Amino acid sequence: MRERVIHLWDLPVRLFHWVLLVLVIGSVVSAKIGGNAMVWHGRFGHLILALLVFRIVWGIIGSTHARFHHFVRGPGAVFDYLRGRWRGVGHTPLGALSVVALLLLLAALAVTGLFANDAIAFRGPLYPLAGSDLSDRLTTWHRRGEWALYGLVALHVLAILYYTLIRRDNLILPMITGRKRVSNPAARSLQGGGMLPFMIALAAAAAAFWIAGGGLLPPPPPPAPDLGW
């Protein structure tokens, strides 16, 4: 069957993928270092949350292969894939579920981190909304989620290695170039997206970053006046 090249992943999706990878690595490393590096851990978390909001919006109004309704399918599609009857491009039905799980987990980690504390000096920017007891509970869940993240990332890497080495289907190169060689005659290059949807997604991400940083919280009370005593 004759092969051809299609435009599969747009630039926003590719940038999201690689920037998210860098931010997650930075977040994990800064948490392991601790101490003053926790400030950077919080910054990485804010950026991850903003990036996830961007991806969610882009998954609704972005280009075809980036939209969730294009690649997130029901049980029937998963069974077809497991039986070798799936002929789509982009994320497989099973891979789509792992992508959604990873996005949800990262969102949960980022949100709980906004209210968390390290019992020493670091407090998330929304800590005042939670208080000590709730913050401690959310901190516990935040730390437990770390191991779930390791598990999902390991599955993601193993899946990439399986497709690249066993099935001879390179998943990394299309996420760099945006293009993929396919033999499916029904496969089509991406459509849609554009500057306006990109600006809308970017504005949503900026708003999420501002809110996550405590933008809606009332300003702290002014310091007590120095009476010179």
pTM score, whole prediction: 0.90
User: Which residue in this structure is represented by tokens 């949800």?
Assistant: 104
pLDDT range class, residue 227, cuts 50, 70, 90: low
Q: What is the CATH number of the domain that holds 139?
A: 1.20.950.20
Q: What is the DSSP string of 143-176?
A: HHHHHHHHHHHHHHHHHHHIIIIIS---SHHHHH
Is 223 part of a structural domain of the chain?
Answer: no
Tally of domains in the chain:
1
Beta strand residue intervals within the chain, DSSP E: 4-7, 179-182
Contact yes or no for 75/91 (Cβ under 8 A): no
Note whether residue 224 is domain-resident: no
Residue 186 lies in a domain: no
Could you tell me if residue 51 is inside a domain?
Answer: yes
- What pLDDT was estimated at residue 75? 85
For residue 176, tell me if it sits in a domain.
yes
Would the pLDDT of 93 be above 90? no
Judge whether 61 lies within some domain. Answer: yes
In which band, very low, low, confident or very high, does the pLDDT at 229 lie, cut at 50, 70 and 90? low
pLDDT in tens, 16-75: 999 999 999 999 999 999 888 999 999 999 999 999 999 999 999 999 999 998 888 888
Banded model confidence at residue 103, pLDDT cuts 50, 70, 90? very high
Range of the domain at 171: 4-181+192-212
pLDDT score of 207: 97
Looking at residue 204, its pLDDT comes to: 98
pLDDT tens, position by position, 109-137? 999 999 999 888 889 999 999 989 999 99
Residue 42 in domain: yes
DSSP character for 39? H
Closest CA to 54 of 95, 8, 15, 108: 15
Residue 156 lies in a domain: yes
Give dist(CA 190, CA 67) in Å, integer: 10
The reported pLDDT for the residue numbered 73 is 83
Q: Is 7 helix (H, G, I), strand (E, B) or coil?
A: strand
Asked whether the CA dihedral 57, 63, 66, 70 is positive or negative, the reply is: positive
What's the pLDDT band for 1 if we cut at 50, 70, 90?
low
CA count, 13 A, side-chain hemisphere, 211: 11
CA distance 170 to 134: 45
pLDDT score, position 228: 59
Q: Are 124 and 42 within 8 A, CB to CB?
A: yes
Please write the tens of the pLDDT for every residue from 166-209. 988 888 999 999 998 888 777 788 888 899 999 999 999 999 99
